[in-house]
């Protein structure tokens, strides 16, 4: 449990915005800005944040689906960003992604068997009867029936489509799975099925998850540790129990207090944040949260706070917690 499987150091991704006659770069979207964290083997790291904060870009940059600008992504001691295409392809087998929208992430012209066999074919893992056996095994494991494998995606409901996406992700026997909002497009009663499935698979295959979501309740249910992201930066990272009980960053605190909880009338005093999330094109100077922060100090508008460990395993980027 303690072995580190993935270590991300000072990762940066800026998307250029070009304009003018010569299409010079006029600005940049600071999608991921100097982010560092690690993921231990067989744990689930939850990554939460509001829309547009760079969660998805971070997930994709780690898998090299988007090229990073700077930083290091070390997977079991090897820097993914320095590997050549061939080496990377080999390692791809060990990592997979589950996408947010099962409706658009499955090719409508391929049968379920074709979809699941694609990673198997590309990596030459199995052929003929063995491949078929493997596909049937996967289809069954995610809770579908073997006869489903000759059907097309449109014949399935949203939850079933997501199961197919999970089967595809498992086809190469991955170690690390990046799940980007895997249940947010599903019905409430179907969400629980998928969340339970993900937990079972983790136990069975010893998977490590990076679970990206904006739903803090689901993240709490799934994760061992939680990282909170705001406008391209990590604000706080701590064991799930600590962060929900004792959030140290004002943003985390506000985020948690904003969630309506079913069945509780006497709620904690709610912190209502003013304004909305700033654009990552021109993030505010200093701490990115300072224009909305209820505890703002003069220093917050000038200096960017460092991401430091204030309690054991509890990292936070805030001037108030030094």
Partner 1 sequence: MSESSLLSINDLKTYFFTAEGVVKAVDRVHLEINKEEVLGLVGESGCGKSTLALSIMRLIRVPGKIVGGEIWFEGEDLLRKSEGKMRAIRGGKISMVFQNPTSSMNPVYTVGSQIAEAIKLHQDVQKRQIKEKVVEILHKVGIPDPSKRMKDYPHEYSGGMCQRAMTAMALSCNPKLLIADEPTTNLDVTIQAQILDLMRALRKDFGASILLIGHNLGVINELCDKVAVMYAGKVIEYCDITTIFKEPKHPYTQALLESIPRLDVAKERLRIIPGTVPRLINPPTGCRFHPRCEYAMAVCSEQEPTPVKIGRGHTVACFLYTSKG
Query: Could you tell me which stretch among 91-99, 107-115, 117-125, 268-276 binds partner 1 (CB under 8 A)?
Result: 268-276
- Rounded to an integer, what distance in angstroms lies between the CA atom of residue 112 and that of residue 164? 7
Query: Does residue 71 belong to the site contacting partner 1 (CB under 8 A)?
Result: no
**Element of type H or E holding 7:** strand 4-19
Q: What is the 3-state secondary structure (H, E, C) of 88-138?
A: HHHHHCCEEEECCCCCCCCCCCCCHHHHHHHHHHHCCCCCHHHHHHHHHHH
Min dist CB 304 to partner 1, Å, is 22
Sole binder of partner 1 in the list 255, 293, 300, 316 (CB under 8 A): 255
Residue 312: how many CB atoms within 10 A of its CB? 8
Structure tokens at 11: 């990762």
Query: Does residue 190 belong to the site contacting partner 1 (CB under 8 A)?
Result: yes
Query: Could you tell me which stretch among 27-35, 82-90, 174-182, 249-257 binds partner 1 (CB under 8 A)?
Result: 249-257
- Rounded to an integer, what distance in angstroms lies between the CA atom of residue 277 and that of residue 235? 14
Site string for partner 1, 194-233 (x = CB under 8 A): -xx--x--------------xxxxx-xxx-----------
b/e per residue 65-84 (b: at least 16 CB within 10 A):
ebebbebebbbeeeebbeee
What 3-state class would DSSP assign to 220?
A: helix
Sole binder of partner 1 in the list 192, 281, 299, 320 (CB under 8 A): 192
Query: Could you tell me which stretch among 38-46, 69-77, 84-92, 255-263 binds partner 1 (CB under 8 A)?
Result: 255-263
Query: Does residue 152 belong to the site contacting partner 1 (CB under 8 A)?
Result: no
Query: Does residue 246 belong to the site contacting partner 1 (CB under 8 A)?
Result: no
- Contacting residues toward partner 1, per CB under 8 A: 50-51, 157, 159-160, 187-193, 195-196, 199, 214-218, 220-222, 244, 254-265, 270, 272-273, 276-277
């Amino acid at each position: 449990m303690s072995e580190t499987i993935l270590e991300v150091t000072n990762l940066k991704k800026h998307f250029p915005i070009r304009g003018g006659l010569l299409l010079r770069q006029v600005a940049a979207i600071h999608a991921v800005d100097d982010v560092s964290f690690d993921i231990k083997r067989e744990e689930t790291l939850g990554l939460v944040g509001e829309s547009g904060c760079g969660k998805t870009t971070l997930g994709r940059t780690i898998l090299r689906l988007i090229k990073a600008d700077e930083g290091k992504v070390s997977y079991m001691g090897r820097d993914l960003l320095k590997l050549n295409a061939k080496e990377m392809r080999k390692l791809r087998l060990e990592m997979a992604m589950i996408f947010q929208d099962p409706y658009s992430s499955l090719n409508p012209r391929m049968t379920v068997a074709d979809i699941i066999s694609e990673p198997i074919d590309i990596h030459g893992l199995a052929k003929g009867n063995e491949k078929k056996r493997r596909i049937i095994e996967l289809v069954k494991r995610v809770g579908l029936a073997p006869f489903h494998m000759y059907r097309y995606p449109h014949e399935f409901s949203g939850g079933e489509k997501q199961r197919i996406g999970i089967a595809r992700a498992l086809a190469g026997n991955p170690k690390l799975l990046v799940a980007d909002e895997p249940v947010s497009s599903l019905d409430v009663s179907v969400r629980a099925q998928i969340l339970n499935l993900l937990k079972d698979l983790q136990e069975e295959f010893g998977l490590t998850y990076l679970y990206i979501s904006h739903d803090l309740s689901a993240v709490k249910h799934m994760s061992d540790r939680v990282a909170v992201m705001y406008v391209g930066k990590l604000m706080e990272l701590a064991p799930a129990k600590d962060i929900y009980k004792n959030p140290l960053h004002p943003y985390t605190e506000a985020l948690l207090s904003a969630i309506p909880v079913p069945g509780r009338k006497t709620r904690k005093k709610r912190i209502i944040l003013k304004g909305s999330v700033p654009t990552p094109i021109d993030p505010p100077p200093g701490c990115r949260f300072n224009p909305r922060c209820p505890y703002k100090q003069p220093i917050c508008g000038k200096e960017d706070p460092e991401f430091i460990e204030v309690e054991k395993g509890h990292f936070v980027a805030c001037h108030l917690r030094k």
